[in-house]
Amino acid sequence: MTLESLEKIGYASKVPNKTVSTYSAGDPAVISAQLSTTSKHFQEMLPYLQTLGARTERRPKISSYDSVEAIWRAFKEQSLESDVSVITSYGRIYNLFPKLTEEWLKNCEKGVYKLKNWRHIITDEPKDIEIGKRLTAIGQKVKAIRSANTHLVDLVVYDNKVSLALIDKEPFINIIESEPLALSMRGIFEVVWKDGKWVR
């Protein structure tokens, strides 16, 4: 994805009065809000997209789950992957599902989940920072962005897949297998990552 494309969708902005085209990263809170809105709309359109995709040979593979058990099973499977980019609020998930989240964290600390070449973007809320420091202590790369009430959707990009999850009282997760989509989401992740602050 080019910088011009990122500018058009609000993820970057052009710096005025420069002889050479110069861009700055967009506000992470705005990007977070846009991701939340996109996920909500995607969930509403999912039945139609699945029907439409059935008519094409190159349709992306879409898996959708709406139970806590299935969502955690999917996340555990993702935890075995390498080169993963995550935008989430571990603190929010911990508050909703403390036992499951603590179990996952302890398995990370024990090395059950290696999280090789993972990068985590979290919010600057105290619980997120606390968990971020635990991940940093085991060698993870963690950055924080400004908290926003709209930071409700978890984005995970790995391999040629994109996972969008809403973890609340009525959770769901959509896993889309699409190389172009994964490439685009990695571009968005890089914009947010650049503007984040390291968690030490």
Contact 60, 176 (CB under 8 A): yes
Assign 3-state DSSP to the chain and report helix, strand, coil percentages, each to 5.
45, 20, 30
Residue 41 has pLDDT above 70, yes or no: no
Are the C-beta atoms of residues 182 and 70 closer than 8 Å to each other? no
pLDDT digits (tens, 9 = 90+) for 106-146: 999 999 999 999 999 999 999 999 999 999 999 999 999 98
The answer as to whether 11 is a domain residue is no
**Within a domain: residue 16?**
no
Whether 120 is covered by a domain: the verdict is: yes
The pLDDT assigned to 163 comes to: 94
Question: What per-residue confidence (pLDDT) applies to 198?
Answer: 97
User: Residue 12 domain-assigned?
Assistant: no
Do 132 and 99 touch, CB atoms closer than 8 A?
A: no
Query: The domain containing residue 158 runs over which residues?
Result: 28-198
> How much is the pLDDT for 85?
97
94-100 contacts: CB < 8 A, separation 24 or more?
94/127, 94/131, 95/127, 96/167, 96/168, 96/169, 97/68, 97/72, 97/167, 100/68, 100/72
> Rounded CA gap, 113 and 24, in Å?
35
Decide if 108 is inside a domain.
Answer: yes
**Does residue 18 belong to any structural domain of this protein?**
no
Q: Quickly state the pLDDT bin for 52 (edges 50, 70, 90).
A: very low
| 102 falls within a domain | yes
CATH of the domain at 67: 3.30.870.10
Is 83 inside any structural domain? yes
Confidence (pLDDT) at 1? 47
Residues in the chain: 200
| pLDDT at residue 35, as a whole number | 66
pLDDT at 195: 87
Structural domain count of the chain: 1
Name which residue leads in pLDDT, 70 or 102.
102
